[in-house]
Amino acid sequence: MDLGITGKVAFVAASTGGLGLAVAQALAAEGAKVAITGRRRERAEQVAASLPGAVAVAADLQAPGGVAEAVDRTEELLGPIDIAVLNGPGPKPGAAAALGSDELASAFDLLLRPHHELVSKVLPGMRVRRWGRILAVGSSGVTAPLPNLAVSNTGRAALAGYLKTLAAEVALDAVTVNLLLPGRISTDRVAELDAAAAKRRGISVDEVQLESRKTIPARRYGTPEEFGAAAAFLCSAAASYVTGVALRCDGGLIRSL
C-alpha cells in the first residue's frame, strides 16, 4: 500500500530512541524526509545516517526557544514541515495522593507546553498548504489511567483534550490531528517502569513482566516496529479522513471501545 508521503517533510520529536525512533524509521521507509531530533547531537547524527533522506537536528524542546530553533533548522535543511510527531520523555512514577503542586505543574511543562509550541509553530503553514499531519505519541493512560503514573496520566490527558479540540478546528484545512496510544511496547521506558514496579513490590522484573503479559489479550509486549507502522498510517495520505481519534496500539490491553 502506497501511503502517499514520499517527499513529505516529517519532524519527529525525541526520535533518537524508543517509540520516536520507531516512528521515524517507519516514515523514512515510506519515503518521507525525516528530521531526527534529540538532545544528543552525536546520537541524532548516528540515527539520521542510518535512514534515507534523514537529517539530524540537535534540539532540547524543553528549553526556552528550543522548539522554534529546531523547527527553523529542520525547514532550513528539508523545507516546510508536513508531518509533526509530538513525542517526549515520560515523567517519573508517582501516586496521585502524594502529588504536589510542583509535580502537577511539571505535568504541563513536560507533556503539554512543548507540544503546544510545536503545533503552534508548524500549523499555520500546514493550513496554508492544505495538507498536514499532527500525531501525538500518548499513552493508554489517556483512556484508562495507569496506577502510580499520576503525573503522566494528568499531563497526557490535558494534551489529548487540546488535540481533540484542535482536530475539529482544522479539519476543513485538510490537517488531521490524532493520538497513538501505546500499551506495553518493548522500549527502554517500559523496561524502566517494570524495574521500578519490581523494586516497589519486592519481586523480580521477570515476575512483573509475566503479570503484565497476562493482562494483555495478545499475551505479549508489542514491538516498536508494530507501533511505527500504525503511526506511519496515521501520518499518511491514506488516513486523510481519520482525525480527532486516539488509536490504541496495545494488543487489546484496554478492554473498553
145-197 pLDDT per residue, tens:
888 889 999 999 999 999 999 999 999 999 999 999 999 999 988 898 899 88
Residues 149 and 199 in one domain: no
Phi-psi category of 86—alpha, beta or left, where left has phi over 0 and alpha has psi -120 to 50?
beta
> Is this prediction's pTM over 0.85?
yes
CA 16, CA 177: separation in Å to the nearest integer? 23
Same domain? 19 vs 75: yes
The sign of the torsion formed by the CA atoms of 80, 176, 15, 23 equals negative
Query: Which structural domain, as residue segments, surrounds residue 172?
Result: 9-185+223-249
pLDDT digit string, tens, across residues 30-55: 999 999 999 999 999 999 999 999 99
Structural element, H or E, at residue 135: strand 132-137
Half-sphere exposure of 138 (CA within 13 A, CB side): 35
13/10 Cα distance (integer angstroms): 10
Same domain, 202 and 170: no
Cell numbers 490504541 label which residue? 248
| Contact assessment for residue 87 and residue 70, using Cβ atoms and an 8 Å cutoff | no
Is 3 part of a structural domain of the chain? no
Same domain? For 33 and 143 the reply is yes
Are residues 191 and 147 located together in one domain of the fold?
A: no
